[in-house]
């Protein structure tokens, strides 16, 4: 008989209990012992839920105090020297210092987990000597067994993936590092084998990317050594997010099971199975329920796929599971009371996906009749959404089809636009600005809550927002910034705000997912055709501009970021969704310009995270992503300066596409990567305006002037000072007022020093 499993479960809790515990501990409101106890309660509750649902093989050790990649680094004692780690079990002060920074040490770099919106902490290997500090998978296994009687499946980031995601060593040192890490992995696995653990899940998502011959050799070495060291241990080599490369080689590895993604890697993995078969001595982990999307699976379609797979693998060697960890979806639909019926009935969050997996497993083992009622209800729910009015707006479909058939271009090229914009704005060399948002204090959040509950009138709330704008316009002027922002105090989230004002969107009450650390986001749901209804940002921006003679930027979120940071419909191509968003946002850009706003920032921090993992698919995606941005911005006057912003991604392989977006100014995060992106500009000429974030806003520390002037100096070795801007690396919403003001004052002082230094060179 087939069995059921998942690859991981959301950490945060249905009401974000995990986030609240973390932030209470960081604020000193929870003692460490109580903090550990509270997280254990959350962790065990998640295991009980999976047990009650009927999941056969329940994952353990995927729960984290912050991030699972950081956990792996801590387990192996890979702590950068600047954190003054003394050995032994890594203290929480050091663990969280690596993630968030301290007064004495900058945080480790943070970047996207493959092509998702989850961020991991990048391990730094330079100067470290790996050693096992504690066997965390073993502790998690024992806890589940002793407390709940669960025979858990420990989850561990695989050695090749861990190395490929780490930094701080030269390529020629890879084998040396592998030789240091392998004995530690083996020791962890041997401890698990001695405990009679039945299955261990080794996550190797890097196998869905193109590997060098050397890495393919390393992969074989790793699993050959594991097979020799722990011959009786059932290792599930788990992949996800796409189809595996080198399938014929991977299925020959000496492991007991191989997990494949039959959702996002559906066509490639299915083709490989059909072409090469599946080994008779291995178990197939069939990831057929989408771990990243929020739509109900078509149970009939999934059963058809499973039936096809049983031609190659018998039921007793089949595990029905999620395509990846459920970390990427909200916890449950059950608590959502405000969604329209057609939409709510078509949704499946983590708990509902557990039910889908259990039902599909039952049908594989006992036949369709065993879930006949579930199949009928499933088909009714999916058909109702398909036929809804929101998904059949012909006016939107026809207009967007016509506009997207044209090539969007500004009237003048950048070299000529830059001249007329300088004449209009008269900005100094190295102009300063911020990315858009200012601190969302408790007072701001309380005011919004009172307004949403109806306890404040529209007039009261609007008056409060204007008071905040007044305060921060004056502060920006006092600090000495050149280009100002209104602060975005009326916005909860940079995507949610716009989704609430566009047709085709829906919003959950409890649909939170983890983005990084305790930062949780509640992605909108794009479930219908997207359309502009009325101006969304004009009122606040126009008011802010009326309070100062300095330029105030209009602030929008771009079409690709809105799409990538939302849960999107899966019945039409993503390209089509992007163009619908672009046309709606173009109307907002035009409304801002008509209101006298001559600098407009259209943020696209999420462009790269939508980049397909398969190299052969990337050019097509970037082409339509760039086109969508240009569709949004191409109709403005030559003197209107278009800004954009990108953060926390590796951009070196898409510099050409960034330039093709044709924004007059782009700001890019580089502070956590310590200016490594600048290397890209040493290899590629960049001729548009650019600002490389000079300090990390995700850390509470106030950066010193010297740090920022050093960042500027390195950037201006390869970038034109006439086109260079100085700014923080991201919005300041999560920071406190005092640290924000102090940091910006230091940034302006660093700019003054740099202006004196570089003015002579112009």
Which residues are annotated as part of the binding site for L-methionine?
Answer: 435-437, 488, 603
For residue 335, the 8-state DSSP code is T
- Helix spans in 195-288 (H): 213-229, 247-250, 266-276
User: Which helix (H) or strand (E) is 383 found in, with range?
Assistant: helix 372-386
- Helix spans in 8-135 (H): 17-26, 32-53, 68-75, 92-100
Contact 603, 644 (CB under 8 A): yes
Which residues are annotated as part of the binding site?
Answer: 16-19, 112, 117, 435-437, 488, 519-520, 565, 603, 609, 645, 647, 669, 730
User: How far is Cα 744 from Cα 210, in angstroms, rounded to an integer?
Assistant: 42
Catalytic residue among 119, 264, 328, 698: 698
**Does residue 129 sit in helix, strand or coil?**
coil
Contact 697, 729 (CB under 8 A): yes
Pairing of strands 641-646, 553-557: unpaired
Which residues are annotated as part of the binding site for L-homocysteine?
Answer: 435-437, 488, 603
Tell me the two tokens of residue 504. Answer: 């085709």
Q: How many CB atoms lie within 10 A of CB 214?
A: 11
The b-or-e profile of 139-158 (16+ CB within 10 A means b, else e) is ebbebbbeeeebbbbbbbbb
Residues 6+ apart with CB under 8 A from 645: 435, 436, 601, 603, 604, 605, 666, 667, 668, 730
Pairing of strands 153-157, 59-60: parallel
Tell me the two tokens of residue 612. Answer: 């397909």
Contact 336, 344 (CB under 8 A): yes
The answer to whether residue 698 is catalytic is: yes
Nearest in space to 677 (alpha carbons), one of 703, 698, 654, 661: 654
Q: Please name the residue that has the structure tokens 């080599």.
A: 237
The b-or-e profile of 327-343 (16+ CB within 10 A means b, else e) is bbbbbbbeebeebeebb
Which residues are annotated as part of the binding site for Zn(2+)?
Answer: 645, 647, 669, 730
Which residues are annotated as part of the binding site for 5-methyltetrahydropteroyltri-L-glutamate?
Answer: 16-19, 112, 117, 519-520, 565, 609
Query: What is the greatest pairwise CA distance in the chain?
Result: 81
User: Which helix (H) or strand (E) is 590 found in, with range?
Assistant: helix 574-594
| Orientation of helix 458-479 relative to helix 442-452, angle to 10° | 160
Report how far apart, in Å, the C-alpha atoms of 81 and of each of 106, 628, 749 are.
11, 44, 30
To 10 degrees, the CA torsion angle through 681, 687, 689, 693? Answer: 0
The b-or-e profile of 424-455 (16+ CB within 10 A means b, else e) is bbebeebbbbbbbbbbbeeebeebbeebeeee
Tell me the two tokens of residue 346. Answer: 């078509």
Contact 283, 309 (CB under 8 A): no
**Does residue 208 sit in helix, strand or coil?**
helix
Tell me the two tokens of residue 470. Answer: 């007044």
Q: CA angle at residue 219 from 207 to 226, to 5 degrees?
A: 120
Q: Which residues are catalytic?
A: 698
């Amino acid at each position: 008989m087939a069995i059921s499993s998942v690859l991981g479960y959301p950490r945060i809790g249905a009401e974000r209990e995990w986030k609240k515990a973390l932030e209470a501990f960081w604020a000193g409101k929870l003692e460490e012992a109580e903090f550990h106890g509270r997280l254990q309660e959350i962790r065990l509750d998640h295991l009980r839920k999976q047990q009650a649902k009927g999941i056969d093989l329940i994952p353990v050790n995927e729960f984290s105090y912050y991030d699972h990649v950081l956990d792996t680094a801590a387990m192996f004692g890979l702590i950068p020297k600047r954190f003054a780690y003394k050995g032994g079990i890594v203290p929480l002060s050091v663990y969280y210092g690596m993630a968030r920074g301290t007064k004495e040490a900058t945080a480790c770099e943070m970047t996207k987990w493959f092509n998702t919106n989850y961020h991991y902490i990048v391990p730094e290997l330079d100067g470290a000597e790996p050693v096992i500090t504690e066997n965390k998978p073993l502790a998690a296994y024992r806890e589940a067994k002793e407390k709940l009687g669960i025979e858990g499946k420990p989850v561990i980031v695989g050695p090749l993936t861990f190395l490929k995601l780490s930094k701080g060593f030269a390529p020629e040192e890879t084998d040396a590092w592998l030789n240091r890490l392998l004995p530690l992995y083996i020791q962890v696995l041997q401890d698990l084998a001695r405990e009679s653990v039945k299955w261990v899940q080794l996550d190797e998502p890097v196998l869905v990317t193109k590997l060098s011959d050397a890495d393919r050799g390393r992969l074989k070495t790793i699993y050959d050594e594991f097979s020799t060291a722990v011959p009786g241990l059932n290792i599930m080599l788990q992949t996800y997010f796409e189809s595996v490369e080198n399938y014929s080689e991977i299925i020959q590895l000496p492991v007991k099971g191989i997990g494949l993604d039959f959702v996002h890697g559906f066509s490639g993995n299915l083709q490989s199975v059909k072409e090469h078969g599946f080994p008779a001595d291995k178990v197939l982990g069939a990831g057929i329920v989408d771990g990243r999307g929020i739509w109900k699976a078509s149970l009939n379609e999934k059963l058809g796929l499973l039936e096809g797979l049983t031609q190659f693998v018998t039921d007793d060697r089949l595990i029905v599971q999620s395509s990846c960890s459920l970390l990427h979806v909200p916890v449950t639909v059950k608590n959502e009371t405000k969604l329209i019926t057609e939409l709510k009935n078509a949704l499946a969050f983590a708990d509902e996906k557990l039910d889908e997996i259990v039902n599909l497993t039952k049908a594989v083992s006992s036949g369709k009749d065993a879930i006949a009622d579930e199949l009928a209800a499933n088909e009714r729910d999916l058909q109702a959404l398909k036929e809804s009015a929101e998904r059949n707006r012909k006016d939107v479909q026809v207009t967007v089809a016509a506009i997207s058939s044209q090539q969007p271009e500004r009237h003048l090229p950048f070299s000529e636009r830059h001249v007329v914009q300088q004449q209009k704005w008269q900005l100094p060399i190295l102009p300063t600005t911020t990315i858009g948002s200012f601190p969302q204090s408790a007072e701001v959040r309380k005011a919004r809550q009172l307004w949403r509950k109806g306890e404040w009138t529209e007039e009261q709330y609007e008056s409060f927002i204007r008071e905040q704008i007044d305060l921060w316009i004056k502060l920006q002027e006092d600090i000495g910034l050149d280009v100002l922002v209104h602060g975005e105090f009326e916005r909860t989230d940079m995507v949610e705000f716009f989704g609430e004002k566009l047709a085709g969107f829906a919003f959950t009450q409890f649909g939170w997912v983890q983005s990084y650390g305790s930062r949780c986001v509640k992605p909108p749901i794009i479930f219908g055709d997207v359309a502009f209804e009325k101006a969304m940002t004009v009122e606040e921006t126009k008011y802010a501009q009326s309070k100062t003679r300095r330029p105030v930027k209009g602030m929008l979120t771009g079409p690709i970021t809105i799409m990538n940071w939302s849960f999107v419909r899966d019945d039409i191509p993503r390209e089509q969704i992007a163009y619908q968003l672009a046309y709606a946002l173009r109307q907002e850009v035009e409304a801002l310009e008509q209101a006298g706003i001559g600098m407009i920032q259209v943020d696209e921090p999420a462009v790269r995270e939508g980049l397909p993992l398969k190299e052969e698919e990337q050019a097509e995606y970037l082409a339509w992503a760039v086109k969508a941005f240009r569709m949004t911005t191409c109709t403005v006057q030559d003197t209107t300066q278009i800004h954009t912003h990108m953060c926390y991604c590796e951009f070196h392989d898409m510099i050409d596409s960034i330039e093709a977006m044709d924004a007059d100014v782009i700001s890019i995060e580089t502070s956590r990567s310590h200016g490594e992106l600048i290397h890209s500009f040493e290899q590629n000429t960049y001729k548009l305006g650019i600002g490389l974030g000079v300090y990390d806003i995700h850390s509470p520390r106030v950066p010193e002037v010297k740090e920022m002037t050093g960042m500027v100096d390195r950037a201006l070795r390869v970038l034109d000072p006439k086109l260079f801007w100085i700014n923080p690396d991201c919005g300041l919403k999560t920071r406190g007022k005092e640290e924000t003001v102090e940091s910006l004052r230091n940034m302006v002082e660093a700019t003054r020093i740099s202006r004196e230094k570089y003015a002579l060179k112009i």
